[in-house]
Amino acid sequence: MDDAPLQAYHITWVTHNSRISPRMIENEAVIHRLRIRKGINPLVEPTWLDERLEVEISECIAEIVKEYKLRIIAYNICGDHVHIILICSETDRAKIVGILKGKSTFLMKKRKQVTDELHLWAQKYSWTLIESDDQLSNTINYISNNRQKHELPDNIGLNLQRDAIIGDSLNWFLCNKGLEPLAVGTSRER
């Protein structure tokens, strides 16, 4: 990745067909015809991740984070969407999100031995630059409590994977801001 200044970004992406955008509505007929031409079912159900799939996808994301040495300081997955706080340069942001989405789909296809196309994630993602310590704290809390917001049960397996994804990134980030790292065994995001 490049040497540009690092910034904190709140990144969100959704599962395939779980949210309808104006672009999707506008292009629905075209998409329908293209899918029929390709011999693919024109009606694709939204992708919903049950607790087991949330854990498996989080395992894949943990592998990617480790392989690419990514800095993620908050993470949650909630059935039809993912939240992260990613520390990277502005120029690397889109590339990293593409790697996370693309490679997690590839790894899930491999795990599940899927030979057909697998649409796990929607094409787009959203991001917000985190510009203050208050905004950072609020965003970490928002991500940490997102399962409760959506009335989803606690997922113990997900909690273990969250720690693998965040790893030492949060302490690295705190030290780089001149703050005290968390003590060993301190809960990061629960």
- The answer to whether residue 111 sits within a structural domain is yes
pLDDT value, residue 188: 44
Gap between the Cα atoms of 171 and 110, Å rounded: 33
**Which tokens is 94 given?**
């889109």
**Mind listing the pLDDT tens digit for each residue in 107-140?**
999 999 988 888 899 989 999 999 999 999 999 9
The b-or-e profile of 22-34 (16+ CB within 10 A means b, else e) is: eeeeeeeeeeeee
- The answer to whether residue 142 sits within a structural domain is yes
Alpha carbon separation from 145 to 78, 124, 137, 178, 183 (Å, rounded): 10, 23, 12, 26, 22
Q: Which residues, at least 6 apart from 1, have a Cβ–Cβ distance to it below 8 Å?
A: 88, 89, 92, 95, 96
pLDDT value, residue 190: 37
- The answer to whether residue 27 sits within a structural domain is no
User: 165: domain range?
Assistant: 7-18+48-176
User: What is the value of pTM for the model shown?
Assistant: 0.84
- The answer to whether residue 25 sits within a structural domain is no
Residues of the chain with pLDDT under 50: 185-190
Structure-token match 């790893």, residue found: 167
**What CATH number corresponds to the domain at position 58?**
3.30.70.1290
Task: Give the total number of structural domains in the chain.
Answer: 1
- The answer to whether residue 35 sits within a structural domain is no
- The answer to whether residue 106 sits within a structural domain is yes
pLDDT value, residue 115: 86
**Mind listing the pLDDT tens digit for each residue in 31-45?**
767 777 877 665 667
- The answer to whether residue 143 sits within a structural domain is yes
- The answer to whether residue 34 sits within a structural domain is no
**Mind listing the pLDDT tens digit for each residue in 105-115?**
999 999 999 88
Residues in the chain: 190
